[in-house]
């Protein structure tokens, strides 16, 4: 009898252990399934960008594209872009990305503004951000602008400090607000240093015709300019080439263009939206968005001067100190740019 009871107890214990183990495994599987479900339910953060030019321009469009790559790398976003978008296709491309559920759609350049404001009301869950303008529209259109006046002022002041003949040249691309701001800033910056300086200034009328920009810059050099600056996107590569061929110093624009002319590029006047675009995307991802104009400049670190590279020992220290003082004074409001 005792043996029978003992056997029954052992059988009961084994049965309980098997059931308990089965429950534990079942609970683990259920928990894992729930976690997988949570992951599947999480919507990917998606960011798209429209560009009017090529990402290979080593200037305006390349800067924005690098910002998009940083968003992918640092924010874990799923990204997409369309370059060389024709104006007639603006609305279609905006609408296509919005239909695909992109959280943010950047239009890189003021020219995208009208199309964004037309399409945005149809897609309230997408945020439309247009660069180089001051537009906004409730509830989901904002703009992101670098202060091109500051950028131009720095280029003009440096050119005036470095010229040995009091004559400098500056080549602009299309005569649009951001380029006009740069060109006006250049004029003010140069005259801030020397009111009597001669400034040769020309718009080429586009952002892609490097041959035309080269011709314009070469003419300025023939007229005696010993410093050439530009803000002409891809066309600006022609201005740089003209300076190299004439063995003349040049000031780059938008991004650090040192590698394009290591022996002639003194520095570049930066209007770097790379950082600004990433910061904007991070704010939106964190739920911090307002339909307004976001303005960045020297104080935010998106406008300034690139390193002097090969000219580090050729640019006098007093010139470097003066440029730093000018940047400090602009931030402090001691220099009027309007």
pLDDT tens per residue across span 72-118: 999 999 999 999 999 999 999 999 999 999 999 999 999 999 999 99
Query: Considering the chain, what percentage of its residues have pLDDT values greater than 90?
Result: 77
d(CA 24, CA 298): 60
**272 within 8 A of 266, measured Cβ to Cβ:** no
Enumerate the CATH 3.40.50.2300 domain ranges in the chain, comma separated: 46-146+274-296, 148-271+308-331
For the packed helices 317-331 and 148-162, what is the interaxial angle rounded to 10 degrees?
160
Out of 28-37, 94-103, 206-215, 329-338, pick the least confident: 28-37
pLDDT of the residue at 36:
46
The fold of 46-146+274-296 is Rossmann fold (3.40.50)
Query: Considering the chain, what percentage of its residues have pLDDT values greater than 70?
Result: 88
- With H, G, I as helix, E, B as strand and everything else as coil, classify residue 336: coil
Residue 31 has pLDDT above 90, yes or no: no
Q: Dihedral sign, CA of 280, 182, 234, 163?
A: negative
pLDDT of the residue at 10:
44
pLDDT bucket at 17, cuts 50 / 70 / 90: very low
Name the pTM for this structure.
0.77
First to last CA, the chain: 106
pLDDT of the residue at 59:
78
pLDDT of the residue at 16:
41
Out of 36-40, 74-78, 300-304, pick the least confident: 36-40
Find out if CATH 3.40.50.2300 is the number for domain 148-271+308-331.
yes
Tokens describing residue 323: 């440029």
**What is the rounded average pLDDT of the residues 134-149?**
95
pLDDT digits (tens, 9 = 90+) for 49-84: 999 999 998 778 998 999 999 999 999 999 999 999
DSSP conformational letter for 312 = T
Residue 1 has pLDDT above 90, yes or no: no
pLDDT of the residue at 32:
45
Count of CB atoms within 10 A of residue 177's CB?
A: 13
Mean pLDDT of all residues belonging to the chain: 89
pLDDT of the residue at 25:
45
For the packed helices 148-162 and 177-193, what is the interaxial angle rounded to 10 degrees?
40
pLDDT of the residue at 115:
98
pLDDT of the residue at 309:
98
Residue 24 has pLDDT above 50, yes or no: no
Q: Which residues contact 209 (CB under 8 A, 6 or more apart)?
A: 235, 238
């Amino acid at each position: 009898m005792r043996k029978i009871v003992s056997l029954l107890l052992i059988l009961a214990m084994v049965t309980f252990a098997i059931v308990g183990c089965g429950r534990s495994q079942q609970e683990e599987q259920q928990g894992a399934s729930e976690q997988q479900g949570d992951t599947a339910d999480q919507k990917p953060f998606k960011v798209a960008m429209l560009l009017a030019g090529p990402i290979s321009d080593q200037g305006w469009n390349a800067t924005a594209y690098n910002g998009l790559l940083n968003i992918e790398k640092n924010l874990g976003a799923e990204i997409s872009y369309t370059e060389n978008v024709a104006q007639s296709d603006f609305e279609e491309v905006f609408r296509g990305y919005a239909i695909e559920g992109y959280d943010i759609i950047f239009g890189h350049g003021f020219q995208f503004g009208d199309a964004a404001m037309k399409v945005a009301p149809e897609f309230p869950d997408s945020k439309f951000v247009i660069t180089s303008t001051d537009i906004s529209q409730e509830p989901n259109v904002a703009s992101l602008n670098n202060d091109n006046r500051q950028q131009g002022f720095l280029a003009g002041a440096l050119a005036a400090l470095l010229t040995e003949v009091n004559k400098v040249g500056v080549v602009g691309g299309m005569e649009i607000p951001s380029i006009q701001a740069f060109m006006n800033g250049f004029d003010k910056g140069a005259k801030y240093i020397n009111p009597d300086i001669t400034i040769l200034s020309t718009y080429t009328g586009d952002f892609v015709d490097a041959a035309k920009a080269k011709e314009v810059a070469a003419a300025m050099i023939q007229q005696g300019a010993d410093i050439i600056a530009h803000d002409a996107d891809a066309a600006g590569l022609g201005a740089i080439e003209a300076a190299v061929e004439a063995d003349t110093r040049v000031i780059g624009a938008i991004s650090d263009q040192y590698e394009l002319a290591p022996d002639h590029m003194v520095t570049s006047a930066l209007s770097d939206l790379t950082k600004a675009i990433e910061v904007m995307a991070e704010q939106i991802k964190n739920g911090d968005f307002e339909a307004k104009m976001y303005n960045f400049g020297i104080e935010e670190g998106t406008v300034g001067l690139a390193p002097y590279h090969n000219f580090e020992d050729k640019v006098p220290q007093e010139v470097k100190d003066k440029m730093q003082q000018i940047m400090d004074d602009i931030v402090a409001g001691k220099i009027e740019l309007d």
